[in-house]
Each structure stands twice: as structure tokens, then as C-alpha cells.
Amino acid sequence: MATFIIHTHQRLQEWVAEEKSYFRAEGLTDYELRAARIPQDPNAAAAIAQRPNATPDNLMGAYQSYEKGREASVSCACHWTVNMAASNEHGRLWGECYSVSPGGIFVAPDSPFRKPEDLAGVEVHVGYQSGSHYTTIQALEPFLPAESIKLKFGGLPNDRVDQLLDGRAPAATVFGLQYYLVEQLGYRKIADCSFMIAGMVPQGADLDDVRKYYRALRRAQADIDLMFQPYTHYYLNEMPERHAKLVDVRRFGPGERIVFEPYSQQMYAATRDWVNARGIFPEAKKGRDAFDEAVVRPLAAE
């Protein structure tokens, strides 16, 4: 049997489950956690300082990572992307639960922008076809007409933090631990854009093992709900050193929360309608509407 590969997704639940041996307690014994953090390049600070003022569009985002193929038995991304990727047969959306992450559009402490209307025509740095892309549109639509919402595709969450810190981004959308990072550094939240995240399993995944994994996370979620402070040090496993040295993770919050409720057919359809109405994907990538083929439904519903 192949090793069960888990992407930790810069959140606490997998680390708590590992600490408490919940994976093994649920019968998942051959597994590997893969975190986002990589060793710090000693030349990183100098390279960041030498970056040009302009940030080129980075069109590699969460959806593209699923097109390319993620080496994981289970992974996560915003539910918009997982929905669209599953409908294009890049895996199956895990329908037994979802999660919600804090997110926000942030600007520098001395920025003249103080309310969403101030961002009319202002480039907000987001990840391409990633959670920040969709949620920024969703957050600004109540305040601005579509033609006034301007997005700049600034790459991964850590890239967008760098762009805020060095002044290349007049505004940027971040979530999860990056949300806590810029908040602690005094950056101002212009609009909340918390959003839903979904799990993705590859075609042919062992669904029994996936259910063992999520049962372990359910136990970890209860521990985090009860008292998250003992576990915030695990954020350090997910942060580049250049960011970790700027903040005290003991002041961070619980972050992403897993909700053990079904990702329903109504959610699936409404999400696809919302994405397609805004032309975020070309016609060829709008995928199928076949819920039963794209989503792993809860056992009771199968």
C-alpha cells in the first residue's frame, strides 16, 4: 500500500493530529506530512531588496497546481478552485466536510486607503485562480462596480506578504497565518474576505484512508476549539524564516477551522454559477455540472 501523502496547508490541524497520534489511533499508520516551509536561502533578503518596483503577473495559481498534478493523497485549496478542478477531472472534491479561513484585504499602516470604496481602480494583489482571487471579487462587489475592481496576480501568499512589506503592493489579500502576520505588523484591514476551503483527493484514492485522515482532523479540531494557544508554535513549520523572525506566533489565532458538514450539491452548483458568471475561466475549462462524478459524497448519501 502506498504511503498516504498529506499537504499540511499552513494550518494547525495536521500538526495537532500528529502530536496527539490521532492518525495512528484512527488506523492511518503509513503516512507523510509535507509542509510548505523550505530552508531559508541566505541570499533571499538581498534578492527581495533588489526586486523591481513592478510585479509581473504570476499566472501560476492553485488551479494550475491541480492541472499539473499534486503529489498528495489529500490536499486543499479554496472551494472555487477545487470545484472547478474536480469538474475538469483533476481529482474529486471531498464532500464530507469543508473549512473556513480568516482572510482580508490589507494595506500599509500609512496607506490613504481606509474603506473598500477607496480601492476603486487600485491593484489588489491576489493569487491567480486561487482563493484570494475569488474572495477579493466577492468582498468588493458590494462596494464597487466590476469595472472598478482591479486585481494584480502577485503569486503565492508569502509572495504577497513580501509585496506588502516592500511597498510593491498598494493592497493585497492574504489569509490564514499570513493574515495574522500582517495584522500583527500593523497593516490595516480594508475588508474581510474569509472564505471556504475544500479537500481534493486524486482519482482512485483509497477513500477509507481519507476518512481515517479526516477522523483524526476532527479530533484535532476539537482540541483547537477548546484551547488553541498550545499549538500556535506549529505555524513556524509553515513560514519562511524571513517572516518568522518578524512576528510572535504566540499572538496568532486558531486560523482555518474545519466544518464537518457536507459540501452539498447546492453549494457545488451555486459556486460554479458564480465563477462562470464572472468569466474567471475560459469556456474550455468550465467543466461538467456532474456533481456525482466530481464530488465524493458522504457515506450516508452514497
User: How sure is the predictor about 179, in pLDDT bands with cuts at 50, 70 and 90?
Assistant: very high
What element of type H or E holds 295? strand 295-296
Structure-block grid coordinates of residue 141: 462587489
Contact 106, 172 (CB under 8 A): yes
Mean pLDDT in residue range 53-77: 88
User: How sure is the predictor about 286, in pLDDT bands with cuts at 50, 70 and 90?
Assistant: confident
Residue 75 phi, psi (nearest 5) = -145, 175
Residue 46 confidence (pLDDT)? 46
* 33-58 per-position pLDDT tens digit: 998 654 444 444 445 445 556 677 88
Residue 54 confidence (pLDDT)? 64
* 151-169 per-position pLDDT tens digit: 999 999 999 999 999 999 9
Of 22-26, 58-62, 132-136, give the lowest mean pLDDT range: 58-62
**Rounded CA gap, 192 and 103, in Å?**
6
C-alpha R_g of the chain: 19
Parallel, antiparallel or unpaired: strands 92-101 and 257-259? antiparallel
Parallel, antiparallel or unpaired: strands 123-126 and 171-175? parallel
Task: State yes or no: pLDDT of 23 exceeds 50.
Answer: yes
For residue 133, give the CATH number of its domain: 3.40.190.10
* CA atoms within 13 A of residue 50's CA, in its CB half-sphere: 5
The amino acid that residue 226 corresponds to is L
**Rounded CA gap, 206 and 170, in Å?**
45
The total domain count for the chain is: 1
Mean pLDDT in residue range 186-195: 98
User: How sure is the predictor about 116, in pLDDT bands with cuts at 50, 70 and 90?
Assistant: very high
**Rounded CA gap, 290 and 224, in Å?**
35
Of 72-86, 190-204, 237-251, 278-292, give the lowest mean pLDDT range: 278-292
User: How sure is the predictor about 298, in pLDDT bands with cuts at 50, 70 and 90?
Assistant: confident
Which residues form the domain of 175? 4-301
What ranges make up the beta strands (E) of 73-177?
75-78, 92-101, 103-107, 123-126, 150-153, 171-175
Q: Which long-range CB contacts under 8 A does 86-89 form with residues at least 24 apart?
A: 86/200, 86/287, 86/294, 86/295, 87/272, 87/286, 87/287, 87/288, 87/289, 87/290, 87/294, 88/285, 88/287, 88/288, 89/203, 89/287
pTM: 0.92
In angstroms, the Cα distances linking 246 to 80, 226, 255 are 32, 28, 19
**Rounded CA gap, 21 and 52, in Å?**
46
Residue 112 phi, psi (nearest 5) = -75, -10
Contact 164, 172 (CB under 8 A): yes
* 243-285 per-position pLDDT tens digit: 999 999 999 999 999 999 999 999 999 999 999 999 999 998 8
Of 8-22, 25-39, 87-101, 272-286, give the lowest mean pLDDT range: 25-39
Contact 198, 94 (CB under 8 A): yes
Residue 49 confidence (pLDDT)? 46
Task: State yes or no: pLDDT of 2 exceeds 90.
Answer: no
Average pLDDT, the chain: 92
Mean pLDDT in residue range 128-145: 98
